[in-house]
Amino acid sequence: MDLDKKYDDYDFPHTAAEPQNGHAGHLTEGQIAQVHQLRMMLEAEGFTDRLDTLTLLRFLRARKFDVALSKQMFVDTEKWRKETKLDELVPTWDYPERPEVAKYYKQFYHKTDKDGRPIYIETLGGIDLTAMYKITTGERMLSNLAVEYERLADPRLPACSRKAGKLLETCCTIMDLKGVTLTKVPQVYSYVRQASVISQNYYPERLGKLYLINAPWGFSTVWSVVKGWLDPVTVAKINILGTGYQGELLKQVPAESLPKAFGGSCECAEGCENSDAGPWREAEWAKPAKWEKKKDDGKTIENKGSEIETPGASADAEPAAVPEKDGAAQPAAA
């Protein structure tokens, strides 16, 4: 792997521990040339941000090292970032409605798995869009999702990489399906579909392992059909588990990292869903994120998170549709 002095200013390990094809430190000469080619093509079109080698490799892997397709995916992502003003929003983002939204839909990072990756947990059974849109808006929910992806990239993954002594680029996701009934499926799918579009199209190669726990009866039959639409590499990362999931899950997640509510032994004083515990909160491994350093550059936009206005919109209206792209959607934390 060739490091580019202009873009590759990593302050964490940047070589993949496992010799996987297309991953940092384990590239062929042809793949190294493709990284250079992709960067040159993007520079020629005026792009100057996020051209570091690790980022370009994620887009190349997502498109099987087809440089033209990788370039289009990158360009589409930058267009979306500009439209949503994401780079300006991240340093100032506030989500005061989180505790109320969490009564229906919990989303949180909590410690690390046995490979050192951040653990991300979602509970889908309580989703009630009618009630949730009285608290927040679909747009803010998706904005919060995007901000959390940015904070996964920096500071969470760099801190985990420092502690593990190896490059970590993915997370271990646990999606709890307990309470997802046939009557709730349309609402759950409505939100997860839109969240999946963001994760699949704009944050490639972030899924390490996915555990779907408390899968309802009949889900395995549905999965046997769905997995035929997915890339085999993605399928290998997904585990479908029923109510007796603890044994299998604990093979990957230490009991002390898993909240007691999911069969582990962790009981954070403020509640595991509120602690945000992990290397990114430990002084030995944590460092300010790059976006934190831009807080005072005078270019950030105001985020009126405590002045949410939802009148005029139907309480049960769905979020604005997010255009689908080619390819099968991945779970929200992919």
State pLDDT tens for residues 10-62: 999 999 988 899 999 999 999 999 999 999 999 999 999 999 999 999 999 99
Distance CA 97, CA 191 (A): 17
* Residue 172, beta-bridge partner list: 119, 209
- Identify whether the C-beta of residue 122 lies closer than 8 Å to the C-beta of residue 174: yes
Using 50, 70 and 90 to split pLDDT, how confident is the model at 295?
Answer: low
Strand order in the sheet with 118-123: 106-112, 118-123, 171-176, 207-213, 238-240
What's residue 311's pLDDT? 40
C-alpha distances in Å from residue 70, one per residue of 17, 35, 112, 334: 24, 10, 30, 18
pTM over 0.75: yes
Note the pLDDT of residue 330: 40
* CA distance linking residue 144 with residue 313, whole number of Å: 20
pLDDT at 322: 38
213 bridge partner residues: 176
Question: From CA 332, how far away is CA 334, in angstroms rounded?
Answer: 6
Q: Which DSSP category does 43 fall into?
A: H
Domains of the chain plus CATH, in order, are 1-84 (1.10.8.20), 90-292 (3.40.525.10)
Choose the weakest-confidence range: 36-40, 280-284, 295-299: 295-299
